[in-house]
Amino acid sequence: MISFYLPFLAPLIFVLLIDSEEQYYGIDDFQKVKKIDTHTHHNSENTALMEAGKETNFRLLTVNVDVPSYPPLQEQIRLSLLQKGQNPTSIDFLSTISLADWKDSDWAEKEIKRITDTFEQGAIGIKIWKNIGMTYRDEKGEFIMADHPRLEPIFRFVEAQGKTLMAHLGEPKNCWLPLEDMTVNNDRTYFKEHPEYHMYLHPEYPSYEEQIDARDRLLAKFPNIRFVGAHLGSLEWDVDELAKRLDRYPNFAVDMAARIGHLQFQSQKDREKIRQFMIKYQDRLIYGTDLGISGNPDSDRVKSNAKATWMRDWKYFVSDEIMEVSEVTGSFQGLKLPKEVIDKIYYHNAMKWFKPTFN
């Protein structure tokens, strides 16, 4: 009887195996799949980073930020427009705000005017940075937090224009720990090099919890704004905590820029938990890297580094291979996410949450 049924079962088994294979991408599919990196910084006239994207089927979003080490905001806009002018179907940009003239009574009106100009030039949204909550103070000497009332006209305007608000608020929870207790190596390196942002050394500054609470109040106050939390929304340390916010705020998505190492660290402890988190919240997770280019760099080195970063992340998401990366001590296994999830993380979610002009 068994031999009688085997010829009929063999084709079925073959079809099931083929169907199973078609549900997943392989490492070799990297080049052919359309992808978007939603978090890069092009502070240079050099187009090497954009060229690397074109060579690997990546579109890019360059993000203007009020960072002391970056060019002035107007120069960042100029560089964004230069990059977009050379490759209009490959790159878009976000503008930003400055709180430098916060004490002026008409600060909000002037910033809205400046943001309007950038929208007319092609900006698809704005980004606010961690200097809100960690640097700027109001007229009373208190830290200006994300939910400060004077910021509300800006957010109302962005919402009314149908644009996206990206926000890097707070820092990784490691920021409030001593260097030796941090979970990933890149945080340890960054805060060693930037002690001004290492909050373990500055207990007089707002706590991690205060930063997250202010951001959450902002989300609650503006339930209809399209909001992307940069860097896993500064909830990188625990996918359960991130899941709580994604459940609570349907207008909230997050990019993974410079925080994939935190997912890999958690994968070491419970790979299936991270994999199921990615599958469950596949509509709210957006790929990004925080890659940047500035000054007059070595173009070949920029391109090589970008391609290596993109390929390393792709391997983690599409394969189940054992991997090692510099950000994490020890090995971990790739997540091997279904094609549908990969397509959303790498492309469809970016189109939905940022509405870029390329397609």
Look at the alpha carbons of 350, 351, 357, 359 in this order and tell me if their dihedral is positive or negative: positive
Q: With H, G, I as helix, E, B as strand and everything else as coil, classify residue 3.
A: helix
Separation between Cα atoms, residue 147 and residue 328, nearest integer Å: 34
DSSP-derived letter for residue 227 is E
- Alpha-carbon distances of 29 from 33, 265, 318, rounded to whole Å: 6, 25, 9
Domain count, the chain: 1
Separation between Cα atoms, residue 43 and residue 45, nearest integer Å: 7
Separation between Cα atoms, residue 241 and residue 220, nearest integer Å: 17
**Is 165 inside a domain boundary?**
yes
Write out the two tokens for 34.
Answer: 């359309």
pTM over 0.85: yes
Q: What is the mean pLDDT of residues 23-35?
A: 98
**Is 294 inside a domain boundary?**
yes
Confidence (pLDDT) at 255: 98
- Is the pLDDT confidence value at 15 over 50? no
Separation between Cα atoms, residue 327 and residue 264, nearest integer Å: 9
Indicate the Cα dihedral angle 70, 73, 77, 79, nearest 10°: -30
Residue-averaged pLDDT of the chain: 94
pLDDT digits (tens, 9 = 90+) for 303-339: 999 999 999 999 999 999 999 999 999 999 999 999 9
pLDDT category at 11 given cuts 50, 70, 90 is low
**Is 17 inside a domain boundary?**
no
Domain holding 244: CATH number? 3.20.20.140
Q: Residue 79 is which amino acid? A: L
pLDDT digits (tens, 9 = 90+) for 105-141: 999 999 999 999 999 999 999 999 999 999 999 999 9
**Is 82 inside a domain boundary?**
yes
**Is 144 inside a domain boundary?**
yes
Residue 219's domain comprises 30-354
Separation between Cα atoms, residue 5 and residue 76, nearest integer Å: 69
- Is the pLDDT confidence value at 216 over 80? yes
**Is 359 inside a domain boundary?**
no
**Is 120 inside a domain boundary?**
yes
Separation between Cα atoms, residue 321 and residue 333, nearest integer Å: 6
pLDDT digits (tens, 9 = 90+) for 94-106: 999 999 999 999 9
Burial 99-114 (b: 16+ CB within 10 A, else e): beebeeeebbeebbeb
- Is the pLDDT confidence value at 280 over 50? yes
